[in-house]
Structure 1
Amino acid sequence: GPLYYLFAATVIVGAGNAVNLTDGLDGLATMPVIIAAGTFALIAYLVGRADFSAYLGIPHVPGAGELAILCAAIMGAGLAFLWFNAPPAAVFMGDTGSLALGGALGAIAVAAHHEIVLAIVGGLFVMEALSVIIQVFWFKRTGKRVFRMAPIHHHFEQKGWAESTVVIRFWIVSIVLALLGLATLKLR
């Protein structure tokens, strides 16, 4: 119904902003976007096939398999971009790139009817956005900070982690969350 349109818009806008908040270190947002796009390429392919959808017990979305091509394009563009965005970055994504890629992931999740899986697969983005929300809320309420700095990747930098350590560890978290998101397809 009409509430679904509001929900879908919230997913798309939220995903865009969450990816934007994550894009604070060289290569930090790029690889998780590539990983999420790869995960959704597989999900889109599966929901686009009636036989796989029936086997997995997930809703079949006719034509969703075409989204796998879009996901593959995002992956390819992301890998090419990462070549120049890896530390030390020569090129930066900026708001235009991060908002567009996050919005694209949100739109793909909505089109594939796997919005909740996006929250798992994109858990890193959720964590980054929540760190900002928590920091602002808590500071306005108490005048104190929960984190040394938000988004949380800056908190870890303030704790003494090297930029490359933060980036690589966040990439690892993204891989684990992608696998967890894929596991939910069968563990229902």
Structure 2
Amino acid sequence: MFYELLYSLRDYFSPFNVFRYITFRTSLSAMTALIVTFIIAPYVIRWLKKISMTQQIRDDGPKTHYSKAGTPTMGGIIILISITFSMLMWGNFRNIYICVVMTSLLGFGAIGLWDDYLKVVKRNPKGLKAMYKFGLQLLLALVIGIFLYTNPKDPYNDVLSIPFFKKWLFDLGYFYIPFSVFVIVGSSNAVNLTDGIDGLAIGLVAIATIANVALVYISGHAQFAKYLQVLYLPGIGELTVFCGAMLGASLGFLWYNSYPAEVFMGDVGSLSLGGALGTLAVITKHEIVLAVVGGIFVVETISVVMQVMSFKLTGKRIFRMAPIHHHFELKGWPEPKVIVRFWIAGIILALFSLATLKLR
């Protein structure tokens, strides 16, 4: 958008030619989102307090969380504003993949906003009914999946790529549509489940986004993709700019969400960021790598599934509380220790995911 105006002036001022480079705009995108977050966050936090958009704490949760009652929630609005503004400045909306990932981000954000509104304003602890919430997520992901499947510019629109093996490509045919829906919706809800203690989810999102910057840029660069034996997908390099915006917004929000949190992002933040990560994975054909990069999100989700199944089948619980980060809290780990150790695990998994590129 704005960068196109500056780039169009390159014939009159040659330094403006630098705006053609994705790496340069990615840096600007990250810095812009970070600065916008720092500027608007204090005002949004005060506004959320003023209108009583504050967190309700579960009675059956860790007792250490009772002190969090009254903390503003729905702070994910800050993240969405920062990313959107940054992309309007430095993103190329003529690129169809930018439009798709922004649709995912804002679409899942709208679902989360509705859910948060019912929980906080209407004082409905369950928020949006599961049938409607999950149904809307499926519908949005289905639209995205069908569009990507029918995209004539994508030579691998129904292919599943297996990490570590350069020639392991599986043609899923029409089954790729429900598979993409599973990845996007699963990623969205996995981040949502992880968002239970200060800074944990947003820190892991930032780590996963850094890994995605490398994955997206390489997949969209013909020479790098050929050298590393990954699928070259023309046009997706522009998504690096989006990753930069998401990283900047995540780091900026972490400043206010770190322990002890001044604001929670709520479903409007967690669902949107998770949906965006899932959509990035589907577009770049790194769906399996996403499960590695976001390994902590996967573990958190599995812990909930195991807990529910165990209780229904045997009447006994496997963990003291699910998701699993609460289990460690109830074991006596201080909240900051749980957060940092999960972050460390997330960094290790992100590095391992990048190793899959070279090991092909």
- Displacement after TM superposition at 1:50 (Å): 1.0
CA deviation digits over 1:64-105, x for unaligned, max 9? 111111111110000110110001111101011000000000
**In the alignment, what sits opposite 1:6?**
178
Q: Please give the alpha-carbon distance, in whole angstroms, between the structure 2 residues aligned to 1:145 and 1:185.
A: 39
Which amino acid in the other structure matches residue 237 of structure 2? G
Aligned-pair Cα RMSD in Å: 0.6
**In the alignment, what sits opposite 1:106?**
278
Please show how residues 165-184 of structure 1 align to structure 2 within 5 Å: 165-184=337-356
Structure ranking higher on relative contact order (CA contacts 8 Å, 6+ apart): 1
Q: Please give the alpha-carbon distance, in whole angstroms, between the structure 2 residues aligned to 1:71 and 1:156.
A: 31
Residue in structure 2 matching 1:117, options 289, 296, 305: 289
- Displacement after TM superposition at 1:6 (Å): 0.7
**In the alignment, what sits opposite 1:92?**
264
* Structure with a larger share of its residues in helix: 1
Q: Please give the alpha-carbon distance, in whole angstroms, between the structure 2 residues aligned to 1:157 and 1:20.
A: 18
Q: Please give the alpha-carbon distance, in whole angstroms, between the structure 2 residues aligned to 1:71 and 1:174.
A: 17
Which amino acid in the other structure matches residue 278 of structure 2? G
**In the alignment, what sits opposite 2:218?**
46
CA deviation digits over 1:114-158, x for unaligned, max 9? 000000000000000000001101111100011000000000001
Which amino acid in the other structure matches residue 319 of structure 2? F
Q: Please give the alpha-carbon distance, in whole angstroms, between the structure 2 residues aligned to 1:156 and 1:170.
A: 11
The 3-state SS of whatever aligns with 1:29 is helix
Residue in structure 2 matching 1:32, options 204, 219, 223: 204
- Displacement after TM superposition at 1:63 (Å): 1.0
**In the alignment, what sits opposite 1:144?**
316
Residue in structure 1 matching 2:193, options 6, 15, 21: 21
What TM-score do the two structures reach when normalised by structure 2?
Answer: 0.52
Which amino acid in the other structure matches residue 248 of structure 2? G
What TM-score do the two structures reach when normalised by structure 1?
Answer: 0.99
Q: Percent of pairs identical after alignment?
A: 60
The 3-state SS of whatever aligns with 2:354 is helix
Which amino acid in the other structure matches residue 92 of structure 1? F
Q: Is 1:83 aligned to 2:255, yes or no?
A: yes
Which amino acid in the other structure matches residue 184 of structure 1? T
**In the alignment, what sits opposite 1:163?**
335
* 4+ residue segments displaced more than 2 Å: none
Larger Rg: 2
Which amino acid in the other structure matches residue 182 of structure 1? L
Please show how residues 59-78 of structure 1 align to structure 2 within 5 Å: 59-78=231-250
Q: Please give the alpha-carbon distance, in whole angstroms, between the structure 1 residues aligned to 2:188 and 2:304.
A: 15
Stretches of structure 2 lacking an aligned partner (at least 5 in a row): 1-172
Q: Is 1:132 aligned to 2:304, yes or no?
A: yes
Number of residues of Structure 1 aligned to a counterpart in Structure 2: 188
CA deviation digits over 1:20-66, x for unaligned, max 9? 00000000001110010110011000000111111111110111111
Which amino acid in the other structure matches residue 204 of structure 2? P
